[in-house]
Structure 1
Amino acid sequence: MHEILTLQFGHFANFVGTHFWNSQEAYFTFNESLNAPKPEIIHDTLFRAGITSRGTETYTPRLLLYDLKGGFGSLKKINQLYEAPGENELPESTWNGQIETHAQMPYPKNKYLQYLEIEEELVSTEETENKMKIETEDFKLDETVQFWSDFNRLYYHPKSINTMMQYQFEDEFMPFNIFSYGKNAFLAHEKELDSFDENLRFFTEECDAIQGFQVFTNIIDGFGGFACSFLEQLRDEYPKTAIWSFGITEDRTWASEEQNSYYKQILNIALSTTQLTELSSLFNPINTPTINQHNLNSFYHPNLNLPYHTSSIVSAAIETATLPFRTRHNFTSMFDLITQLNWRGNTKLGSLGLALPLPISNFGEVDVNKLLHTENNNVLQDLSMALNGNEKQNATTILGQSVVVRGLPDQFEPLTGQNPKSASQIIAEIFQRYESLNSGSSSFFSTSVAYPIPNSFPKIFRHLNSNGHVDMSVPNDKMLSVHSVPTLSHLTISTKSYNFLHQLANILQNLNLNLHPEYEGGDKGLTRDEFLETRETLWGLCDAFEDK
């Protein structure tokens, strides 16, 4: 079955994960005839079939997600699929005296979530007009999304939802902002709930032939430590299984360099980077786009101050780069792709780029040169990590690369007096251009499956028709009609990582650990020897990625 189990650690990682799962749900088609061709996306890779206590069949993500208390918004651990009849009713009491009930007011559902409930009721009806209205209505999500659950379209299995009760979301007096806090929180969480054995095994033991784990985690705060502790235990159980970790930071949360909290964030990232690199088969440090680094173009205008927007970009990059693991044709396993990229064995840090959309017209017109990060005015969004406000340096040597092109129709409209272009011709041109980068190892993958744009996705596209093709005649206010977009991801193992690692090592070289005593507390506190070892590990990683 080639199953993949997804792990999500942290509030912003769950923003990314919500977009990811909403896109997976958009691939599903219902009420197909028996003679219909099998879908290209193999849903069983990421989803599991099950039966509720009521005997209802379910299909839910194979997922474990973690967030702080108060970080789930309106999402309940026990949702409508798993609620037993009368579960919310108060038990009968023999007490004849006065009874007072004290209950915390639940976080209210926004208009979008309310409409989803209506849409669910309409699935089995013929009310096509009302369904279309729900699909096309603007729910003002830019204004109403505060939590990742505010645009979540799926039901989750109760074992997927894990609350870290020791910390409160956005608690100013006890913030979850230290790597060691995460290490200690994992220890306390497991002592109390044993969720690793209880919940992880619940999902993995159902798998026929698990191909790997994909991890979305914050690394700028305590969740980096929590994820590292989780993966330490996971590696003991699955020493040879592929683990692809995405360590995500949100640019707007960075403190200024003059503040003490900035050096805490750097230390969190350094500790997360060294440990996740060791524990993972491939580690991708990701920073959300910044205003300075954002490639503004006519087709793509996110609000970089909204996590709802920036997480959608990160999610689209991850979803596209990992697409070969769950397709029916040209399937590539997670282990095989990672092994091909990291053919030297000691270069486990990757950089991720994304063209969202891949700018191509109805006639198949695309400038392949603008798809390379080495060209000026390129449309490839670089999501790799840079520190100190430095621009991300162009890679001088690419050791391995994986290019995924998706969403091109079999044949485009013909220009006057010309034969129509085919997708295979254009894809061959794109791949040939990437081959010119002289990578040590290259993997090229293409599919006609476009990146889906559900109505939960931000309205960030301009001058695109409903198929996501460039059409400058489409006015700006018509972005609601975009249902899917062609997309390109470019994953590289390259000397670009040297710059990030070297910056981290330099900062740690001059960092006085005595000024940050909070890292030493608890059973899993950071010792001086571990700090020095982290610094030496960073210098060692620098050597592996140095262009010699």
Structure 2
Amino acid sequence: MTSQGKEVVTLQFGKFPNFVGAHYFNIQTAGFSFNPDFPADVNHDVLFREGKSDSGSFSYTPRLIAVDLEQSLHSLSKTGLNFVTPPSTSEVQDVTQVEALEVLQNPQPPKNEYFEDVEKQSSAQENPNAMQVDLLLKTKYDLSTTVKSWSEVLTVNLHPRSITMIPKTLSSGLDVPKSTCKTGDDIWKNPSFNDDFEDNLRFQLEACDIVQGFHLLTECENLYSGMSNRCLDYLRDECGKKSILTVPIFSLNEDEEDGLEIRKRLCSNLINTGFCLSRSSELSDLVAPFSTLSELWGDGKEFQDFKTLKYDGSSCYQSSAVMAACLELISTPYRLKRLPGVRMNNVNEVLSLPGRKLVGAGVVFPFPDVKIDYDILELLKRHKYRSLCPFVPLESTLDTQSVTLRGFPHSQFPSSPALFVSSCNVRVPRTFPDIIPHEYDLSNSALYYGRLREVSGLSGLCNTREMKAFTDKLVEKLRQINVGKISSFVSNDFERPELVEMMESVEEISASYDISMFL
């Protein structure tokens, strides 16, 4: 495989974005095709790099920088391997040449069902005296009740340069849900983090031929807002006009505090979100807010109704998988082998409207029709997007859109600069939550063991005036904050002038979607 100078580097800031990223790269590897009779239409070298493991064998690792707290690693080694087996006492004695040795080990984190089966299969394959019995992994693993960290979902090996941890000296006693983007600024400026991050990113960039752009996934309601803003500054300084798709992700916070604490956190969340959107809109080519929540910043929680899925929106494991499926679809155009000339900037040009970088992401996953005997316009009328942008239904006034359809022959549709079709289904990995109804499974679903599941899908990135509903709600909530008493909410982190400047910036973003702009 060759990337043809179209590499994309993914940057992830925070627990929830790393959950999305884990599912996203799992979907990628599930779609790898080594059968020359069924070649893959998607070029996976755009997002993966080829390298050698410690044993000398070739392996593929994502072009990725993952930023998180150390406790989120769970079973994941800092070198990028899940469940690394510690060396035996005899091996340590051979190296250290010490006869009497006491080995102190921290207790190993518990393995979920999937990793237990992987370990059994590996042991069976390595044992020369074992019977020639192939222990097949299950097609489905429902890990909803056991998974607490994104590292428990990740099935691909990461390069050691992919993991950038926030040092414990900077995160000790830190309450992330209540933190501010100013805290993220301070962490970014600290040499113990900044040098490590920049070295890791420089390594990933040097491993590319020609970088076409970046995916930047970030939590936008806490300290990662500030870190991602600093990262955008760095990318623009170092990489010039390379395309950047920023995906601010809204977390699923558990409201366990009392009423006052909830109001304080809401205030902080709103300010962090305002700074994130104002800065990312300035420095990114496109900004696509992601959430399975239909509304934000209210008293209750209502989740988007994905008609063809049976999922629990309050589950981080399940919600992040839905977002990953959408990201897989919307990133397909600049990864197609059939269209080597298409790059991220081509998608940006399709969606570009003056002053409007905020776009809505919609998805129909899985796609309900097995056959399509109608044109693309009829398709978009029959199958409305399920929006991943809060407050925005994506049902009308879609001024421009980039449409991706997976699982159908591209020859069926006339060529269009805004329509990207791939005959390859989305292949769902074993660790993807069991939320896809049986009737949409295009693989041999009668077998519990065997093939991975495959489904078709439709997605769109939409530049629409409906985004005004999202920005107007943010402006409304920000105006309700008493700036004179702001110090009691965010610990004197912000000066009044910078808060006023941020609010004016968000209001300008909202005004760019006003209907009068089109008259």
Q: Same fold (TM over 0.5)?
A: yes
> For residue 347 of structure 2, what is the amino acid of its counterpart?
L
The 8 Å contact of residues 17 and 218 in structure 2, kept in 1 or not, is answered as yes
Cα distance, 1:85 vs. partner? 10
CA distance in 2, matches of 1:56, 1:83: 17
| 2:81 is aligned with 1:113 | no
Q: In the alignment, which residue of structure 1 is the partner of 2:387?
A: 382
> For residue 430 of structure 2, what is the amino acid of its counterpart?
N
The 8 Å contact of residues 324 and 445 in structure 1, kept in 2 or not, is answered as yes
CA distance in 1, matches of 2:512, 2:490: 28
| 2:19 is aligned with 1:51 | no
The 8 Å contact of residues 215 and 243 in structure 1, kept in 2 or not, is answered as yes
Q: 2:503 aligns with which of 510, 532, 535?
A: 535
Q: 2:474 aligns with which of 504, 515, 521?
A: 504
The 8 Å contact of residues 461 and 479 in structure 1, kept in 2 or not, is answered as no
> For residue 509 of structure 1, what is the amino acid of its counterpart?
R
In terms of mean alpha carbon deviation, does 209-218 or 169-178 score higher? 169-178
Closer/same/farther in 2, CA of residues 118 and 367 from structure 1, 3 Å limit: farther
| 2:7 is aligned with 1:3 | yes
Closer/same/farther in 2, CA of residues 364 and 252 from structure 1, 3 Å limit: farther
Q: In the alignment, which residue of structure 2 is the partner of 1:266?
A: 270
Cα distance, 1:18 vs. partner? 0.5
* Alignment RMSD: 3.8
CA distance in 2, matches of 1:334, 1:207: 16
Q: 1:313 aligns with which of 316, 322, 333?
A: 322
The 8 Å contact of residues 320 and 488 in structure 1, kept in 2 or not, is answered as yes
3-state SS of paired residue (1:300): coil
Closer/same/farther in 2, CA of residues 63 and 129 from structure 1, 3 Å limit: same
The 8 Å contact of residues 75 and 83 in structure 2, kept in 1 or not, is answered as no
The 8 Å contact of residues 406 and 456 in structure 2, kept in 1 or not, is answered as yes
Closer/same/farther in 2, CA of residues 221 and 93 from structure 1, 3 Å limit: same
> For residue 349 of structure 2, what is the amino acid of its counterpart?
T
The 8 Å contact of residues 401 and 492 in structure 1, kept in 2 or not, is answered as yes
3-state SS of paired residue (2:215): strand
Deviations 1:452-476 (A, max 9, x none): 111111111224254179xxxx99x
Pairwise mapping of residues 195-206 of structure 1 onto structure 2 (< 5 A)?
195-206=196-207
Deviations 1:152-192 (A, max 9, x none): 1110001101111247989686756322111111112x345
> For residue 514 of structure 2, what is the amino acid of its counterpart?
E
Q: In the alignment, which residue of structure 2 is the partner of 1:418?
A: none
Aligned residues: 497
CA distance in 2, matches of 1:275, 1:50: 35
Q: In the alignment, which residue of structure 2 is the partner of 1:212?
A: 213
Q: In the alignment, which residue of structure 2 is the partner of 1:322?
A: 331
Pairwise mapping of residues 448-459 of structure 1 onto structure 2 (< 5 A)?
448-459=423-434
Closer/same/farther in 2, CA of residues 167 and 357 from structure 1, 3 Å limit: farther
3-state SS of paired residue (1:194): helix
Cα distance, 1:259 vs. partner? 2.2
Q: Give 5+ residue unaligned stretches, structure 2.
A: 295-300
In terms of mean alpha carbon deviation, does 330-339 or 102-111 score higher? 102-111
CA distance in 2, matches of 1:397, 1:100: 69
> For residue 134 of structure 1, what is the amino acid of its counterpart?
L
Pairwise mapping of residues 178-197 of structure 1 onto structure 2 (< 5 A)?
178-188=180-190, 190-192=191-193, 194-197=195-198
CA distance in 2, matches of 1:29, 1:80: 23
The 8 Å contact of residues 167 and 192 in structure 2, kept in 1 or not, is answered as no
Cα distance, 1:502 vs. partner? 1.6
CA distance in 2, matches of 1:119, 1:334: 40
Cα distance, 1:508 vs. partner? 1.7
The 8 Å contact of residues 250 and 288 in structure 1, kept in 2 or not, is answered as no
Q: In the alignment, which residue of structure 1 is the partner of 2:151?
A: 149
The 8 Å contact of residues 460 and 479 in structure 1, kept in 2 or not, is answered as no
| 2:304 is aligned with 1:303 | no
CA distance in 2, matches of 1:295, 1:370: 22
In terms of mean alpha carbon deviation, does 258-267 or 145-154 score higher? 258-267
Closer/same/farther in 2, CA of residues 170 and 368 from structure 1, 3 Å limit: farther
Closer/same/farther in 2, CA of residues 94 and 329 from structure 1, 3 Å limit: closer
3-state SS of paired residue (1:197): helix
The 8 Å contact of residues 224 and 269 in structure 1, kept in 2 or not, is answered as yes
Q: 1:445 aligns with which of 416, 420, 429?
A: 420
3-state SS of paired residue (2:67): strand
CA distance in 2, matches of 1:134, 1:54: 24
3-state SS of paired residue (1:236): helix
Q: In the alignment, which residue of structure 1 is the partner of 2:281?
A: 277
CA distance in 2, matches of 1:452, 1:265: 36
In terms of mean alpha carbon deviation, does 456-465 or 267-276 score higher? 456-465
CA distance in 1, matches of 2:173, 2:378: 44
> For residue 509 of structure 2, what is the amino acid of its counterpart?
L
Q: In the alignment, which residue of structure 1 is the partner of 2:163?
A: 161
> For residue 72 of structure 2, what is the amino acid of its counterpart?
G
Cα distance, 1:81 vs. partner? 10
> For residue 346 of structure 1, what is the amino acid of its counterpart?
G
| 2:138 is aligned with 1:135 | yes
Closer/same/farther in 2, CA of residues 516 and 497 from structure 1, 3 Å limit: farther
Cα distance, 1:330 vs. partner? 2.4
3-state SS of paired residue (1:134): coil
Pairwise mapping of residues 326-345 of structure 1 onto structure 2 (< 5 A)?
326-331=335-340, 332-342=342-352, 344-345=353-354
